[in-house]
Amino acid sequence: MELTLWRDDVTLRRGVAAALQRHERRTRLFLRLRHDGVEGFGEVAPQNVALNGDPSVQDVLEELRDVTVPQLLSVVARESLAPSWTRMARFAAARPASCVAVALVEMAMLDRELRCTQQDVTSLWPRNFDTPTVATVSLIEVDEPWDLDQDAARLRAKTSPGTLSRAAIDRARQVILPVLLDFNCSASADEQVLVQVQALSGVELVGVEQPYGAGNVIDHATLAEQLLVPISLDEGVRTLRDLDQIHRYGAAQMVCIKPARVGGLANARTMVQRASDLGLRAYLGGFFESPFARHVHRFLAEHCVVEPSDVGVVATVESLDRLEIAPVEGGFGVAPSPEMLEKSTVIATWS
């Protein structure tokens, strides 16, 4: 088995200010897994710094080098064949970086396995829904135009505690789309959330996302009793146990499930189903991935998610002058383009 890892650092065409960081640059990691003459690709896009329980790029690179890839290669050497992609989720440890590293390898393994059997991913995940997309914008910095996907059915609007500016309120009211108000774990008191919800009284507010820290189900449950709109949890959704706790305490009515955060596509699908069983409305989130990973996530979303999800294309400065995906037979139907990989940096190879 041969594995090649590329790093591609890109600049978002429109930066997005969140409560504790500004999303402006993103690192995308591409993995090619080749075995017995057949290859598959995976991708994750970790944050530059560790925040709110999510790992940094460096954390993920170290996890791949020290744990995930050696573990995979040892299985291949012992069994003399490539393990099924369905086994990969069990490689994930409790470390946040482990989940992201496993998600990267799992995607590549699934792509290769489908190509080996000359199948495409719809044979695994038949399309059940026409899942809409979400556009991510900011109410913190409103002096630049918003970069909206024309097909977007919902806005995730980043915010932080404090009084919303008149410009922010007016802009939210001018866009005729439902808004999900995203605090990214930055609130410390109910009033900080309630005052912003009241200020947006003229906006179709569909929910408030992750006001308090990950794992804080008690304060979210208390806030939920005071709100007339649902609470959604994002950073606080990592395992099936998290979903059970959210339901038990009434901490939220919606949940954002990010494949890279929960350990891959198989775990994400299982968690969407568990959320549905518990009466929680699930949607897929993302980390500003390239069109390749977004294309893959869309297959999963259209199989099991009706809520608007992060499966639209992320506009970057680099995408203006290069082709980012290319069609292939079988698997996901597309792969990172040779041009994009050529302009990326090979940072590791294993065999």
Residue 15 sits in a domain whose CATH number is: 3.30.390.10
What is the tally of helices (H) and strands (E) in the chain? Answer: 11, 13
Q: Tell me which residue range forms the domain holding 58.
A: 2-122+319-350
Q: Are the CB atoms for 351 and 33 separated by under 8 Å?
A: no
In this predicted structure, the answer to whether residue 145 has a pLDDT above a threshold of 80 is no
Alpha carbon distances (Å) from 7 to 158, 333, 348:
27, 22, 9
Same domain, 97 and 145: no
Torsion angle of C-alpha atoms 314, 119, 33, 310, degrees rounded to 10: 20
Q: Is the domain of 147 the same as that of 281?
A: yes
In CATH, what number is assigned to the domain containing residue 298? 3.20.20.120
What percent of the chain shows pLDDT beyond 90? 92
DSSP 8-state class, residue 164: P
Average pLDDT, stretch 270-277?
98
Report the C-alpha gap between 61 and 256 in whole angstroms: 25
In a shared domain, residues 287 and 330: no
| Mean pLDDT within 124-141 | 95
Cα torsion 34, 39, 41, 42 to 10°: value is: -50
Contact 282, 271 (CB under 8 A): yes
Q: What is the pLDDT of residue 320?
A: 79
Averaged pLDDT of the chain: 95
Token reading at 246: 């959210």
Quote the strand ranges of the chain, DSSP E: 2-17, 22-35, 38-44, 133-138, 152-158, 179-182, 205-209, 231-233, 254-257, 281-284, 325-327, 334-336, 345-350
Q: Output the six-digit token pair for 133.
A: 């997309």
Q: How far apart are CA 28 and CA 6, in angstroms?
A: 8
Q: Give per-residue pLDDT as tens, 86-119.
A: 999 999 999 999 999 999 999 999 999 999 999 9
Spatial separation of the C-alpha atoms in residues 31 and 36, rounded to whole Å: 17
Domain count, the chain: 2
- Residues 232 and 283 occupy one common structural domain: yes
Closest-CA residue to 284 (of 302, 270, 301): 301
191-240 pLDDT, tens per residue? 999 999 999 998 999 999 999 999 999 999 999 999 999 999 999 999 99
55-74: average pLDDT: 98
Judge whether residue 147 has pLDDT over 80: no
Of 177, 179, 171, 181, the C-alpha closest to 141 is 171
Are 276 and 207 members of one domain? yes
Residues 88 and 228 in one domain: no
Residues 108 and 219 in one domain: no
Which of helix, strand or coil describes residue 294? Answer: helix
Residues 178, 41 share a domain: no
Mapping DSSP to helix (H, G, I), strand (E, B) and coil, where does residue 215 land? Answer: coil
Tell me, yes or no, whether 129 and 11 share the same domain. Answer: no
> Is 213 found in the same domain as 72?
no
Q: What's the pLDDT band for 141 if we cut at 50, 70, 90?
A: confident
Q: State how far the Cα of 272 lies from the Cα of 258, in Å rounded to an integer.
A: 10
Tell whether 34 and 116 lie within a shared domain.
yes
List pLDDT tens digits, range 277-298: 999 999 999 999 999 999 999 9
CA-closest candidate to residue 313, choices 327, 297, 337: 297
Mean pLDDT, residues 152-159 taken together: 96
Q: Which amino acid is at 320?
A: L
Predicted structure pTM score: 0.95
What's the rounded mean pLDDT across residues 128-152? 88
Q: Verify that 94 and 161 share a domain, yes or no.
A: no
> What pLDDT shows up at residue 319?
87
With a pLDDT cut of 70, the percent of the chain lying above it is 100
